[in-house]
A and B are shown apart, each in its own frame.
Chain A
Amino acid sequence: ETGVTQTPRHLVMGMTNKKSLKCEQHLGHNAMYWYKQSAKKPLELMFVYNFKEQTENNSVPSRFSPECPNSSHLFLHLHTLQPEDSALYLCASSQVQGASGYTFGSGTRLTVV
């Protein structure tokens, strides 16, 4: 394991469902991130939390709602998603926001039907 654990690994949900993605890091890092990875596109930064405080929301639609209850856990709550939201959702953490290497989880492969 990389030190960042994401669950579930795979998720299929209907457009009217509500689900949550979970991320946990065991590295003592202070910053956590959600990224979206779609085919043939660069990784897209969605949200940043630094010391549990949200420091960036990269114009993400409100159907994605992050939650960071403590510096080790990060959630992404999903509701009323669209088929174009199907992608690999990656969680990452780092010691310092932006300047240090990020450690990624293995991601959640999300399919919206």
Chain B
Amino acid sequence: QKEVEQDPGPLSVPEGAIVSLNCTYSNSAFQYFMWYRQYSRKGPELLMYTYSSGNKEDGRFTAQVDKSSKYISLFIRDSQPSDSATYLCAMSEGGSQGNLIFGKGTKLSVKP
């Protein structure tokens, strides 16, 4: 079983839709969880950062972490064509033993 599982999509939604992106993981020691957005021909940029379980909201974006289920989600409300990108989840144990482990990324397309 891979350490971080993420459905690569592609996922296509109409403008204004609520988008749900998810990752599952197997390592119960992960405690730092992140979502990155990567536009074509660009490097990933940090979108959301969460420590341990819980929710975090930033504008139209909400990140959820459920450590008991080893499941993290990113919700995008009122999606816009400019949200079209690949979204990568990433997580780490932290400390000197913990480097970021990435999912494969989900390619999202928001149609006007």
Which residues of chain A have a CB within 8 Å of any CB of chain B?
A: 2, 4, 6, 33, 40-43, 45, 48, 50, 55-56, 90, 92, 97-107
Contacts and interface: CB of A to CB of B under 8 A. Distances in A.
Contacts of A41: 104
B71 interface: no
Contact of A106 (B42, B99, B101): B42
> Which 9 A-B pairs have CB atoms at the shortest separation, nearest pair first?
A104-B43, A98-B98, A99-B94, A43-B102, A101-B46, A98-B92, A42-B102, A106-B43, A42-B104
B36 to A, nearest CB: 8
Interface string B98-112: 111111110000000
A45 B4 CA distance: 14
A97 B98 CA distance: 7
B96 A98 contact: yes
Contacts of B49: 100-101
Contacts of B96: 50, 55, 97-98
Contacts, number: 65
Given A40-B8, A41-B104, A42-B104, A98 B43 contact: no
A98 B34 contact: no
18 contacts: A2-B43, A6-B43, A42-B103, A42-B105, A56-B99, A98-B95, A98-B100, A99-B92, A99-B94, A99-B95, A101-B49, A102-B100, A104-B43, A104-B44, A104-B45, A105-B43, A106-B42, A106-B43
Contacts of B46: 101-103
B61 interface: no
Between A90, A98, A106, the greatest number of chain B beta carbons within 10 A of the residue's beta carbon is seen for A98
Contacts of A33: 99
Interface in B18-70: 32, 34, 36, 41-46, 49
A101 B34 CA distance: 8
A2 B95 CA distance: 24
Given A104-B43, A105-B43, A106-B41, A43 B99 contact: no
